[in-house]
Amino acid sequence: MSIRVTVWNEFRQEPSDPVVHAVYPDGIHAAIAAGLEAAGGFTIRTATLDEPEHGLTDAALAATDVLTWWGHGAHDEVADAVVDRVHARVLDGMGLIVLHSGHFSKIFKRLMGTTCDLKWREDGRRERLWIVDPSHPIGAGLDETFVLPQEEMYGEHFDIPAPDELVGISWFEGGEVFRSLATWRRGRGRVVYFRPGHETHPTYFDDNVRRVIANSARWAAQDRGARPTRGNPGPVEPPSAG
Amino acid sequence: MSIRVTVWNEFRQEPSDPVVHAVYPDGIHAAIAAGLEAAGGFTIRTATLDEPEHGLTDAALAATDVLTWWGHGAHDEVADAVVDRVHARVLDGMGLIVLHSGHFSKIFKRLMGTTCDLKWREDGRRERLWIVDPSHPIGAGLDETFVLPQEEMYGEHFDIPAPDELVGISWFEGGEVFRSLATWRRGRGRVVYFRPGHETHPTYFDDNVRRVIANSARWAAQDRGARPTRGNPGPVEPPSAG
Amino acid sequence: MSIRVTVWNEFRQEPSDPVVHAVYPDGIHAAIAAGLEAAGGFTIRTATLDEPEHGLTDAALAATDVLTWWGHGAHDEVADAVVDRVHARVLDGMGLIVLHSGHFSKIFKRLMGTTCDLKWREDGRRERLWIVDPSHPIGAGLDETFVLPQEEMYGEHFDIPAPDELVGISWFEGGEVFRSLATWRRGRGRVVYFRPGHETHPTYFDDNVRRVIANSARWAAQDRGARPTRGNPGPVEPPSAG
Amino acid sequence: MSIRVTVWNEFRQEPSDPVVHAVYPDGIHAAIAAGLEAAGGFTIRTATLDEPEHGLTDAALAATDVLTWWGHGAHDEVADAVVDRVHARVLDGMGLIVLHSGHFSKIFKRLMGTTCDLKWREDGRRERLWIVDPSHPIGAGLDETFVLPQEEMYGEHFDIPAPDELVGISWFEGGEVFRSLATWRRGRGRVVYFRPGHETHPTYFDDNVRRVIANSARWAAQDRGARPTRGNPGPVEPPSAG
């Protein structure tokens, strides 16, 4: 059965910034969608900030198993009502894959409860990512380490709750390390953070990066348990004789 | 060195509801403060909703190592600006102990990123709490299980992130279980949730409950690591020769 | 693609004890295998203690994606060489589902590093299991709680490492709670512990129990990352110019 | 109250290998003990492999709150009976700090349940350790990162269970990363692994390393909950009337 993925992108720099346009002429979302398409098993749509309701209507979210999120300079322009809606949908069971500068998105900060702040440096030097949990399906088909020859640096401390699963750690040439691939559960939802993806580098055309995103989407779309009931129920067991 | 604790209480039902007043004539905060006083090693002040800025000014928080939080019917009346301030102070290193119906407080929901919803029943029947992590200092001085003869029931699913440490689980006569004593780290802050404490039962006079709160305050006040630096630093290691 | 499951059983009480024989005339393994067969998607074989090498030769393990383990009175008769072999195969990527009294098996204790001790009482009273992680695929298709009308009691403290994922907690009529459904990763392997299954009750014919076992087998058989390399490699990045 | 620490050392290379002797003329244990002595608050004894029962008699362990462990080439010479004894004492509540090549000690492998294997390279180049949990008391008094100018490299994948708390990650000049500072709970015991400490470098004279060890000893010596009871108890709650 096909997994329904909505690839969300801020899509502001690609049309306006020639450097970014040269790398992603159709937008970062198009490159991510193409990677998922090539992996197979997904029904993909895209959505961007400047669409009505950012392309994330109730109907769109209801038809989404996994949402990927890339944003950078316009986090504040994402309407709170849409953030509330995405948040509720994650807790209800949607998967969410937050990419790169999406660490500062409203939805990620809402789900984490922390600032999600970090160190960064746009030096376009090497990133080397190591898989530290070889039992995890997100690492399937990857070698134990892979390199991105040019990337932005993100360094610890990354202000996130301790991940439920820490899958990958990055090494940077300038001396930094970073928890680059990690997961959390929130309600019935499953959340992945994956670090690489600076807009001036062709990261979303990289085979390893595409594989991580496809694996993450499969992981985030797994079956769920029942929706819990809430409120003020009567006892489910008879009172004691005591 | 004394640990500086601020005991915060909504303090609305104690003056106005005769049943609650009979149990906590001076307020729930007074009972919690008395328990900490008896344990020793704490410098205690109290603060309540109807004080200016809810008694939680910048200066008050700066002088607080650990904040305990009890609220019930007036969560919405806590000003967002104060919630922001408490949130920032927790991430900066303050301890926070959230008690009972405080599960629905703005600050707990903000830190957890989830609804913090649950099942509940005010039947005043037995709660039995089991310590499931005997290595944890929050359980020091307790037996492996203790009973509260009359309490409100809270039942799973409790919509929280998986705790960093699950210390205690409650059994209820009506057939429910609950993760009643748990911890999380957020930034440099340390957070405890402790379930018992319905306003119509003398729970905060109970020796075991008082011991858990005092132990939690000591745990939440432990030394921290350095404040991380953020922003856009240069490399800390020289570039490779490659 | 079919998941290859080996259902292992001590198979000593079923032939010899009339009470157990009446419940499981063909052995507990036959009941577990029948449940997996009914769920579909599995290629199932069984193995028992009194077979040569307990039915767990190198070839058998190499052809096993997930091993389920039920033992009770003869843990000490499992040869250490076979335990070593199963241990190595788990770390290499096999799934392992430890059932009920298998908590005291050599392989579970080896993987956990603790005594795996607990409280127990054969009173045949009610067990009620609550799913506490509704995002987990092991709970798929279950209600948020289910009952086994007659079971042995297991009570905390259960001497295990804190689970990587705590999926279910049991309530017992006698006042106990238990972390009944939990997972751990060890190397490339994925381990599940599932509590119910006393030999005098028809637990392995129960629909909910069968569903948990089938879901667990699917979860434990998920794709893995690459086998890590070890030893004494040269640097993967060039030395710094510093 | 003083924390009773036993500093255990294999103590084979220091007398026999001139390079090691030049760095640690009195043994690695003496350097570790001196660091704890300087930190204050500890009552320290040392024990070594070639003492009777390796200096780890029942009486010695009973009088030990925290045991530190350094071994390298003679792990196999540690008697299984002593390993059993240390294991039981950890589960009963002793703290254990495993240092550097102690990752391959029998006691660490027993407690972890995995191979504890890793990559290594004796190139004496730079290690940079980053604190990734600024809320943890083990990081108290440290900067957010510190450097060891010459150390052996250890690289991922480190075959350990996911830590209960991941406190520090190392960066190595050759491109590797490593989970260098981590904790686990086992029974009532608290376990720390701390990576640096190759015998040919003066690591145990380094101020930051000494601070981590002293902080770890304090953390591992914290109060515990009650010893759980086991066995076959009667119900603690009266049977239901149902």
Q: Do D175 and C125 touch (CB under 8 A)?
A: no
Cα separation, A196 vs B107, in Å, equals 32
Chains meeting B at 3+ CB pairs closer than 8 A?
Answer: A, C, D
Average pLDDT value for residue range C26-30: 98
Q: Is A114 helix (H, G, I), strand (E, B) or coil?
A: coil
A208 burial level (CB within 10 Å; 0-12, 13-18, 19+): middle
- Distance from the D97 Cα atom to the nearest Cα atom in chain A, whole angstroms: 22
Query: Which CA distances in Å does C220 have to A141, C94, D20?
Result: 17, 8, 46
pTM of the model: 0.98
Q: Do C91 and D159 touch (CB under 8 A)?
A: yes
Residue B238, pLDDT score: 85
Sequence letter at residue C160: I
Chain C interface test: which of D90, D101, D115, D185 (most C C-beta within 10 Å): D115
Band (C240; pLDDT cuts 50, 70, 90):
low
Residue A240 has pLDDT above 90, yes or no: no
Residue A60, pLDDT score: 98
Chain D interface test: which of A177, A184, A237 (most D C-beta within 10 Å): A177
Band (A1; pLDDT cuts 50, 70, 90):
confident
D25 burial level (CB within 10 Å; 0-12, 13-18, 19+): exposed
Range list of β-strands (E), chain C: 3-9, 42-48, 66-70, 95-99, 119-131, 145-155, 165-172, 177-186, 189-194
Average pLDDT value for residue range C155-179: 98
Closest CA to D100 of D127, D79, D131: D127
Residues of A contacting chain B (CB within 8 angstroms): 91, 110-115, 117-121, 123, 125-126, 153, 155-157, 159, 161-162, 164, 173-176, 184-187, 228-237, 239-240
Instruction: Give counts: helices (H), strands (E), chain B.
Output: 7, 9
Band (A239; pLDDT cuts 50, 70, 90):
confident
- The low-confidence residues of chain D, meaning pLDDT below 50, are none
- Phi-psi map region of A113: left, alpha, beta (phi>0 left; psi -120 to 50 alpha): left
Q: What is the ipTM of this complex?
A: 0.97
Q: At what angle do helices A28-39 and A207-220 cross, to 10 degrees?
A: 70
Q: Do B113 and A186 touch (CB under 8 A)?
A: yes
Q: Do A242 and D242 touch (CB under 8 A)?
A: no
Residues of C contacting chain B (CB within 8 angstroms): 128, 130-134, 144, 155-158, 162, 165-166, 169-172, 175-177, 179, 237-242
Q: At what angle do helices C28-39 and C207-220 cross, to 10 degrees?
A: 70
Residue C242 has pLDDT above 80, yes or no: no
Chain C interface test: which of B146, B169, B180 (most C C-beta within 10 Å): B169
Q: Do B229 and D144 touch (CB under 8 A)?
A: yes
Query: Which CA distances in Å does B196 have to B45, B169, B170?
Result: 22, 11, 9
Tens-place pLDDT, residues B87-111: 999 999 999 999 999 999 999 999 9
B115: which chain C residues are within 8 Å (Cβ-Cβ)?
none
Length of chain C: 242
Q: Which of C128, C134, C222 sits opposite A225 (nearest CB)?
A: C134
DSSP string covering C11-66: -SHHHH-HHHHHH-TT-HHHHHHHHHHHH-SEEEEEEETTSGGGG--HHHHHT-SE
Q: Which residue has the tokens 């145990």?
A: D204
Chains meeting C at 3+ CB pairs closer than 8 A?
Answer: A, B, D
Average pLDDT value for residue range B56-69: 98
Closest CA to B5 of B94, B88, B83, B84: B94
Tens-place pLDDT, residues A33-69: 999 999 999 999 999 999 999 999 999 999 999 999 9
* CB-CB contact of D215 with D133 (8 Å): no
Tens-place pLDDT, residues A192-225: 999 999 999 999 999 999 999 999 999 999 999 9
Tens-place pLDDT, residues A107-157: 999 999 999 999 999 999 999 999 999 999 999 999 999 999 999 999 999
Q: Classify residue D187 by its DSSP letter.
A: T
- Phi-psi map region of C41: left, alpha, beta (phi>0 left; psi -120 to 50 alpha): left
Q: Is D76 helix (H, G, I), strand (E, B) or coil?
A: helix
Q: Classify residue D240 by its DSSP letter.
A: B
Chain B's closest residue to C164, CA to CA, is: B162
Tens-place pLDDT, residues A165-175: 999 999 999 99
Q: Return the H-helix or E-strand segment holding C220.
A: helix C207-220
Non-local CB neighbours of B221 within 8 Å, separated by 6+ positions: B3, B65, B66, B95
C215: which chain A residues are within 8 Å (Cβ-Cβ)?
223
- C57-88 b/e (C-beta count within 10 Å ≥ 16 → b): eeebbeebbbbbbbbbeebeebeeebbebbbe
The first and second tokens of residue C133, run together, are: 């992680």
Residue B169, pLDDT score: 98
- Distance from the C186 Cα atom to the nearest Cα atom in chain A, whole angstroms: 8
Closest CA to C3 of C72, C106, C94: C94
Q: Do C114 and D157 touch (CB under 8 A)?
A: no
Query: Omega into B103 within 30° of 0, i.e. cis?
Result: no
Chain B's closest residue to D190, CA to CA, is: B135
B43 burial level (CB within 10 Å; 0-12, 13-18, 19+): middle
Q: Do C156 and B242 touch (CB under 8 A)?
A: no
Q: Do C162 and B165 touch (CB under 8 A)?
A: yes
Residues of A contacting chain C (CB within 8 angstroms): 93, 126, 128, 131, 133-145, 164-165, 171, 173, 185-190, 215, 222-229, 236-237
Tens-place pLDDT, residues A12-32: 999 999 999 999 999 999 999
Q: Do C239 and D117 touch (CB under 8 A)?
A: no
Q: Which of A133, A134, A223 sits opposite C140 (nearest CB)?
A: A223
- C101-119 b/e (C-beta count within 10 Å ≥ 16 → b): bbbbbbbbbbbbbbbbbbb
The first and second tokens of residue B133, run together, are: 């992590």
Tens-place pLDDT, residues D50-76: 999 999 999 999 999 999 999 999 999
Q: Is B203 helix (H, G, I), strand (E, B) or coil?
A: helix
**β-strand B145-155 against B95-99: which pairing, if any?**
unpaired
Query: Which CA distances in Å does D144 have to D56, D128, D130?
Result: 36, 11, 6
Cα separation, D35 vs D202, in Å, equals 12
Averaged pLDDT of chain B: 97
Chains meeting A at 3+ CB pairs closer than 8 A?
Answer: B, C, D
Tens-place pLDDT, residues C182-206: 999 999 999 999 999 999 999 999 9
Tens-place pLDDT, residues C78-88: 999 999 999 99
Residue C67, pLDDT score: 99
The first and second tokens of residue A223, run together, are: 């079956």
Average pLDDT value for residue range B101-127: 97
Residue A241 has pLDDT above 80, yes or no: no
Q: Is C84 helix (H, G, I), strand (E, B) or coil?
A: helix
A126: which chain B residues are within 8 Å (Cβ-Cβ)?
240
Residue D207, pLDDT score: 98
Q: Do C186 and D161 touch (CB under 8 A)?
A: yes
The first and second tokens of residue D88, run together, are: 């039981």
B228: which chain D residues are within 8 Å (Cβ-Cβ)?
131, 134, 144
Cα separation, D64 vs D80, in Å, equals 19
